[in-house]
Amino acid sequence: MQPCSSALCILILLISTFTTGSESCFSTVKVGFNQGATLSCSDSCSGLARWTVFNKPTDSLAECDQISCRSLKEGYEMIHDQYLKKNISLIITKTDYSKKGRYTCKCDSQNICDVDLQVEPLRTTVQIEPGQSLVLKIDITDPVEVVYSSTDTDGPSSGQICTVDGRSLQCDPEHTERASLTSVLELRNMTPSDSGDYSIVNKEKKQVIHIYTVTVKRRPAITCRTRSPRCAGCVHGCLLAGITFQRIKLQKCYPIHNTQQNMLSLALQMGFTTPQRANP
């Protein structure tokens, strides 16, 4: 048998290295925002076990050897007792969206585990009264989009309604006059047709950060009834009861006399339609 050429021997060595020496387990971990996470890795390592972010191989997060474990960056740790039992998992004490991504564990220079950490969106349910404001918290400093998805048949079309980049706020014409940005994004004068899902989305990575499911309550129409022969008396009674003009539906109104004319004129200016008249 002829000895292999130098080039062929090098090729065989490379194939052997990549098929036997670079294999590592791969898994995915999903957690909620601000929760702790454990990136599991069960393997024997008699040398230095070290965790890094996949695309930053020289930036160590935590490491263990036969003597002790060390946390090299705040929020990351390994447990020495577990290391001695072939459990070299990485513990992340609190997740946020900056910690999302792929992590690698090496024993000395050999990859033994790769874990993809996924941080699921926050979900918040909000119920508000008509006319109140919706407050949306921006959980990251990166540029974000606010995407609206209507759950009301009479609601506006779904899609992007605003973008936030630092202290800059840009909204579509329908929301420009209603929106303001401080430490949060506020949408004023909410109506039942505004009910739906409001998603905060990382503009560059297209990752959903926070979903607000919003319900703006519908107030039932209130019929204002009175035995008074004058509509103004009906209006006045409803005002005394604290009922807003938008919620009053006048029925069986009689002709108005001069003493109530000014009161009815004011009511009409504030949102009443012309009352129905009935014979006395």
- DSSP string for 8-33: HHHHHHHHHHHHHSS--EEEEEEEET
What percent of the chain stands above pLDDT 90? 54
Return the pLDDT at 229. Answer: 46
pLDDT digits (tens, 9 = 90+) for 208-258: 999 999 999 987 655 555 445 445 555 555 444 444 444 444 444 434 444
- How far is residue 246's CA from residue 219's CA, in Å, rounded to a whole number? 10
Question: Which residue stretches of the chain have pLDDT < 70?
Answer: 1-24, 154-156, 220-280
- What values do phi and psi take at 68, rounded to 5? -160, 175
First to last CA, the chain: 121
Task: With beta carbons less than 8 A apart as the criterion, state whether 231 and 275 touch.
Answer: yes
Q: Which domains does the chain have, with CATH numbers?
A: 20-120 (2.60.40.10), 122-216 (2.60.40.10), 222-269 (no CATH)
Global confidence as pTM: 0.60
Spell out the residues 6+ positions from residue 96 whose beta carbon is closer than 8 angstroms to its own: 33, 34, 119, 139
Return the pLDDT at 141. Answer: 87
Task: With beta carbons less than 8 A apart as the criterion, state whether 39 and 89 touch.
Answer: yes
Return the pLDDT at 234. Answer: 52
